[in-house]
Amino acid sequence: MSADPGTPEVSAGDTVDGFPLQAHIREVGPRDGFQNEPEVIPTETKVKLINALARTGLRRLEITSFVRPDVIPQLADAAEVLQAVDIPEEVSRSVLIPNERGLERALELRDRFDEINVFMSASETHNQRNVNRSMADSLTALERVLGRAREAGLRCEGVISVAFGCPYEGAVPPERVFEIADRLVAAGAQEIGFGDTTGMANPRQVKQFFQAARARLGGADQVELTAHFHNTRGQGLANVYAALEVGIDSFESSFGELGGCPVPAGATGNVATEDVVSMLHEMGVQTGIDLRELLRVSRAMQYHLGRPLGSHTLVAGPIDWHRWAHQES
């Protein structure tokens, strides 16, 4: 991964006292976000929004999911969306793959995406409720999916849900999460995403967790460690900051704070991409993303959904330091 064209002075991996100067953001709204919308969004609207997102300077975009259409009707148009979108070459296109059948469907459009992500939960109860399988069965199945995806030349991310706490079982021992990560890495995952699926993580826990994860799973050169926070209890940005403090520079978020998790009901809201980008830029951490363009897409989404979205920066607007600078001169 190279630095963004307009920002040659900072390259990927640069840090000050361990604090990253550049961060990677994968926009997951078109999958994690759309799938939680009760009203089916027309394919044409999805395509327009995805095309616009792909032109905000984002370098990673999760486009859709090859789950069974009867399980998540919202994403039943996965193939149509993937075929219709027009994504600049520098943007990595990711799709979510639930199982081998999903991978087979996706591979029919192999030239339309670059990465897959597979997922399972770090607790038995959440995994059962989410995918109706034991954790052991999920792991075995995902190992096969990862093997086949790597053979097809795809980059692979393994996402571990409820990694910081489970709404059914409570505390989730980090060691259990790292054991799952080990298996997914051994099966071919180059990136592991740690999901705070129902917003139970706190910043202190996040710091300790990622410190341990880096020590346990190796540096960024071996496997990329990605943080996926939900803002369910308003702690998403604090958790992003805590992860940055221990050198994590890869994040997943949803424009407009869309998204959530199908189980349990009500656990909605990925941390908003525009809020993450605003905070990162204010701290001097580069993302390559044009915040104003991103806000334009979120505003369009609000219009399509006919309701206000939860992101703070969408309400308040970006901080315009130039305005005051001009007043002085």
Judged by the rule CB under 5 A, the positions of this chain that interact with Zn ion are: 32, 270
What are the distances in angstroms from CA 295 to CA 19, 58, 289, 317?
26, 13, 11, 8
Q: Rounded to the nearest whole angstrom, what is the least distance from the CB of residue 230 to Zn ion in the complex?
A: 6
Q: 231 or 270: whose CB is closer to Zn ion?
A: 270
Least separation, in Å, of the C-beta of 259 and Zn ion?
Answer: 5
Is 261 catalytic? The answer is yes
CB of 61 to Zn ion, least distance (A): 15
Residue number with CB closer to Zn ion (99 or 270): 270
Name the residue nearer to Zn ion (CB basis): 4 or 158: 158
Cite the DSSP H helix spans in the chain: 43-53, 78-84, 100-107, 124-131, 135-151, 174-186, 203-217, 236-245, 273-282, 291-305, 312-316, 321-328
Nearest-CB residue for Zn ion: 32
Least Å distance between CB 26 and Zn ion?
Answer: 11
Q: On the CB side of 165, how many CA atoms lie within 13 Å of its CA? A: 14
Q: Which of 122, 263, 275, 258 is nearest to 198 (CA)?
A: 263
Task: Please measure the distance between the N-terminal and C-terminal CA atoms of the chain and give it in whole angstroms.
Answer: 40
Given the residues 81, 91, 261, 291, select the one marked as catalytic: 261
Question: Toward Zn ion, which CB reaches closer, 21 or 181?
Answer: 181
**Chain centre to alpha carbon of residue 40:** 21
Q: What positions carry a catalytic annotation?
A: 261
